[in-house]
Chains A and B, each alone.
Chain A
Amino acid sequence: MNPIETKKAYQEYVDKKSPNSPILKNCFNAFWVGGLICTIGQIIMNICKERGFDQTLSGTIVSIILIGISAFLTGLNLFNKIGKFAGAGSLIPITGFANSIVSPAMEYKSEGYVMGVGGKMFTVAGPVLVFGISASIIVGIVYLIFNTQNMTLV
């Protein structure tokens, strides 16, 4: 591939490529890969339930297993290939969260194991945790307010 030299040439290249991005094909791939990952999760969850774990614990086990698998697949450079093919199909499930931790950490490995790997792990996962945890605290407080007023929200 020739290196694209100027910004203008790059913009033209992008414009040429992006309008006819095959959205239907992307959606189809995202659908079946995403569905498949969720189905694997459901199978693990069913096995956990058969072995006598409750719903909450089964859910946690599913998350841990899927996160572990996708973290190592990212480390072995295999997840990127799935991601390129499936797009949101591998990004939106919890596997994408693990991938978003490992891939920046890999990239900055040369900057050291503390600030490079340990710090850059959270370039994408950090905002996810900040907004997720903040939203949950707000939900809890709103629930508390409505509940003490005898206005049940849930």
Chain B
Amino acid sequence: MDINWANVFDWMSLLKCFVVGGIICIIGQILIDKTKLTPARILVIFVTTGAILGGLGIYKYLVEFAGAGATVPLTGFGYNLAKGAIEGVKETGLIGAFTGGVKAAAGGIAAAVFFGYIASLISKPKMKKQ
């Protein structure tokens, strides 16, 4: 299989991806440092925000601009869920709202459950340092 490596390392798209992904992480870092929110709450906030921005049709533009810079952060996970739900509604109406989101994110969720379990099994227990 021939791969055009010039397309793979398209510097402009990688730069946009780097900057946007980095800025989203800075927002998270500011939330960690300036508020008392636990990491779990921050993850929830990011996913929900992504789903809402995806539903409003705003996040789509960020994905078009930055590619993985917008889809790899957890806001992209929320966006993916919301996009799937909207596509589901277009195809099958109300029932699509329930099936579409998880269907779109199924790969990520299943991989997280499967690899998470395997990795936990092979992990070494942490040494308690005194």
Residues of chain A at the chain B interface (Cβ within 8 Å):
1, 3, 21, 23, 26-27, 30-39, 41-47, 49-51, 56, 59-64, 66-68, 71-72, 74-77, 87-89, 91-94, 96-98, 100-102, 105-107, 109-110, 113, 117-118, 121, 123-125, 127-129, 131-133, 135-144, 147, 153-154
Contacts and interface: CB of A to CB of B under 8 A. Distances in A.
Interface residues of B, number: 89
B22 A109 contact: no
Given A39-B21, A140-B88, A50 B117 contact: no
Contacts of B24: 34, 92
29 contacts: A34-B24, A35-B19, A35-B69, A37-B72, A38-B18, A38-B20, A38-B73, A42-B72, A43-B8, A43-B9, A44-B68, A60-B108, A61-B107, A62-B72, A75-B120, A75-B122, A76-B124, A91-B32, A92-B28, A101-B113, A106-B120, A106-B123, A123-B40, A132-B44, A132-B51, A135-B82, A136-B101, A140-B98, A143-B85
Interface string B112-123: 110111111111
B1 A51 contact: yes
A88 B29 contact: yes
A153 B73 contact: no
A101 B44 CA distance: 14
A127 B103 CA distance: 19
A83 to B, nearest CB: 9
Contacts of A107: 126
B29 A136 contact: no
A137 B28 contact: no
Contacts of B22: 30-32, 34-35, 38, 89
A136 B120 contact: no
Contacts of B100: 136, 140
A153 B82 CA distance: 13
A43 B39 CA distance: 28
A93 B78 CA distance: 12
Contact of B94 (A30, A88, A125, A144): A144
